[in-house]
Structure 1
Amino acid sequence: MTWTEEWATADDGVRLWTARSGEGEPLVLCHGGPGLWDMFEDMAEPLTGRATVVRWDQRGCGRSQPCAGPWTGERFTADLDAVREHFGFHRIALLGHSWGAQLALSYALSRPERVSALIYVSGTGIGPDADWHPAHRENFLARLGERPELLARWRYLASRQHPTPEEERERAVHQWSAEFEDRARALEHAGRMADPWFPVNDACNKALDEERRRGWATPERYAACQALEVPVLIVDGARDIRPRSAVDSLERALPKVRRVILPGAGHMPWTEDPDGFRVAVVPALP
């Protein structure tokens, strides 16, 4: 499958890397992080037969133009709108994964008239961090601890004050390997996520994580979700180390929602159950 790469420009002049492929109604993908880059090529290619698929790297991340922020949810939703405008799409379907699910939901809440459908994959809901973060940390350490040498190496790399680029990549691969239920192939899957490799934007990650902790779980957001008329598909991997119960509050709030839980998959369900993921997602496309 051929991807056509283009630059979209945000309203403050920052250039955003995009890639487009396929035919049909537009589907824009929002990658996780924050501070990472698009890793969706394997997941996206089966969808290009049903949609015009657009991938993009978020502000200051991956192949997009380096910049000093600002690192706010409002800024990132404006950047997503700039991607929509760049391609001349009146309305778009959105698929967001992890942090990208939060971004896609934020966009749908702020610009519902621009969204035809929302596919919310492996997010953490609209409740407080206490609903999922302590259990996530415990599950992460337990899963890496199944191979003590892997956990020890990750802890060593995480303690390095001035790691080399090679060490930063190795740490990320070890860390991401905990996201997969299939432990025999976890490092292989995580290695594919790190190819190509770009520096993680730590400033972006810290700022947006702090913004979520401060102000994401509010009665106003719950009420906004209750009023959202966009059809939403929630897709979970049952073996995600983030407890799936955290997403229950979002499911309860949304008036037009369907939820699919893939029993043998972790945080990247399209990798561990590609057929189940495709069967869940394709009917949700406009």
Structure 2
Amino acid sequence: MATVRVGEVEVGRVQVGGGVQIAYARVGHGPPLVLVHGAGLDGRMWQPQLAGLADEFTVVAWDEPGAGRSSDLPAGFGLVDFAHCLGAVIEALRLGPAHVSGLSWGGTVALELYRHRPELVRTLILADTYAGWKGSLPPEEVAARAEGAKRMLAVPREKFDPTLPGLFAGDPPAAFVPLLGTMAHDVRPETMGAQLLMMAEADQRDLLPAITVPTLLLWGEFDARSPLSVAHAFQDAIAHTELVVLPGAGHVSNLETPERFNRAVREFCRAHA
């Protein structure tokens, strides 16, 4: 494990099985809060949380395998492998049990971590996410999204566009447009295609009633990709849940309404310290 410091942020890498190197950013002191980013993004999407919550928590945002500064996806890598890598990072940094927060695809990874390594999870914070597309969306919607992912992979790299429809309730927040552009430029098509096809096949509904840790559901009021009906299905299936709806926000609610997002996370983690 190698680390450097950039201002207050520790930037490091963890070597896990199969030669996979995983990069992370770590800042702050206090109870550990691990942030798991969405598909087509990387750990930089959590900038407002790294900046806004480090006064009270040890905040860690990884770049998952195949994204950001981490190494490429190995052949045959699956959802369970993402979960095992996330667990390896939590163990290597001696963070567990941690508050684990995932947005969109990142929430699906966080759920899979809980399936295999529940001892590493203090609480779950599931933001605008799914129990896999198959587990949360109508079959016709899953089929349409899977077909869209295949078309995305079929275009030449210079024409590849990682932007998915319905990420924000309105225009992307102006303060984060440069960041979003940089992350989009750095997306690896093979990674994003693999993520989306894994989501199309994933169905974690069997896991939800087995979750015993406190769980926060954070949802944008106008999320078009994972509508509020999905949040209510989580709420019905998981025993110890709290739902917070973020007014005016869409799917990437941590960037669209960061102050409200951070406040909800802070209050929930305090309550379950």
Shorter-chain TM band: 0.7 to 0.9
Tell me, yes or no, if structure 1 residue 180 matches structure 2 residue 192: no
Structure number, greater radius of gyration: 1
Per the alignment, residue 270 of structure 1 pairs with 254
Q: Which moved more, 1:188-197 or 1:251-260?
A: 188-197
Per the alignment, residue 243 of structure 2 pairs with 259
User: 2: distance between equivalents of 1:275 and 1:132?
Assistant: 32
User: 2: distance between equivalents of 1:18 and 1:239?
Assistant: 30
Matches within 5 A, 1:108-147: 108-125=114-131, 128=134, 131=137
Would the alpha carbon gap of residues 116 and 202 (structure 1) be closer, same or farther in structure 2, given more than 3 Å must change?
A: same
Per the alignment, residue 186 of structure 2 pairs with 199
Per-residue deviation at 1:136? Answer: 9.4
Q: Runs of at least 4 residues of structure 1 off by over 6 A?
A: 135-138
Per the alignment, residue 13 of structure 2 pairs with 7
Check whether the contact 1:241–1:267 (CA below 8 A) recurs between aligned residues. yes
Deviations 1:198-217 (A, max 9, x none): 53233233333333333x22
Alpha-carbon RMSD: 2.9
User: 2: distance between equivalents of 1:250 and 1:134?
Assistant: 21
Per-residue deviation at 1:64? Answer: 0.6
For this pair of structures, how many residues does the alignment match?
256
Identity of aligned residues (%): 26
Per-residue deviation at 1:237? Answer: 0.2
Per the alignment, residue 249 of structure 1 pairs with 233
User: 1: distance between equivalents of 2:173 and 2:157?
Assistant: 23
**Structure 2: runs of 5+ lacking an equivalent:** 1-6, 145-151
Q: Which TM-score applies when normalising by structure 1? A: 0.78
User: 2: distance between equivalents of 1:258 and 1:200?
Assistant: 33
Question: What residue identity is the alignment partner of 2:255?
Answer: T
Per the alignment, residue 141 of structure 1 pairs with none
Question: What residue identity is the alignment partner of 1:206?
Answer: G
User: 1: distance between equivalents of 2:153 and 2:114?
Assistant: 39
Per-residue deviation at 1:244? Answer: 2.1
User: 2: distance between equivalents of 1:108 and 1:120?
Assistant: 12
> Alignment partner for residue 210 of structure 2, among 223, 227, 235?
227
> Alignment partner for residue 66 of structure 2, among 60, 65, 69?
60
User: 1: distance between equivalents of 2:95 and 2:175?
Assistant: 37
SS of match in other structure, 1:12: helix
Per-residue deviation at 1:196? Answer: 5.1
Tell me, yes or no, if structure 1 residue 83 matches structure 2 residue 83: no
Per-residue deviation at 1:275? Answer: 2.5
Tell me, yes or no, if structure 1 residue 238 matches structure 2 residue 221: yes
Per-residue deviation at 1:246? Answer: 2.4
User: 2: distance between equivalents of 1:81 and 1:239?
Assistant: 32
Per the alignment, residue 284 of structure 1 pairs with 268
User: 1: distance between equivalents of 2:153 and 2:77?
Assistant: 25
> Alignment partner for residue 211 of structure 1, among 194, 198, 216?
198
Per-residue deviation at 1:114? Answer: 1.4
> Alignment partner for residue 36 of structure 1, among 38, 41, 47?
41
Q: Which TM-score applies when normalising by structure 2? A: 0.82
Per-residue deviation at 1:23? Answer: 0.5
**Structure 1: runs of 5+ lacking an equivalent:** 139-157
Deviations 1:15-73 (A, max 9, x none): 1111110010111110100x532121123211111110111111122111234343201
Check whether the contact 2:65–2:82 (CA below 8 A) recurs between aligned residues. yes
Would the alpha carbon gap of residues 94 and 244 (structure 1) be closer, same or farther in structure 2, given more than 3 Å must change?
A: same
Q: Which has the higher strand share?
A: 2
Per the alignment, residue 3 of structure 2 pairs with none
User: 1: distance between equivalents of 2:66 and 2:133?
Assistant: 28
Per-residue deviation at 1:251? Answer: 1.7
Check whether the contact 2:231–2:243 (CA below 8 A) recurs between aligned residues. no
Would the alpha carbon gap of residues 179 and 222 (structure 1) be closer, same or farther in structure 2, given more than 3 Å must change?
A: closer
Check whether the contact 2:42–2:183 (CA below 8 A) recurs between aligned residues. no
Question: What residue identity is the alignment partner of 1:37?
Answer: D
Check whether the contact 2:27–2:50 (CA below 8 A) recurs between aligned residues. no
Tell me, yes or no, if structure 1 residue 46 matches structure 2 residue 46: no
Per-residue deviation at 1:103? Answer: 0.4
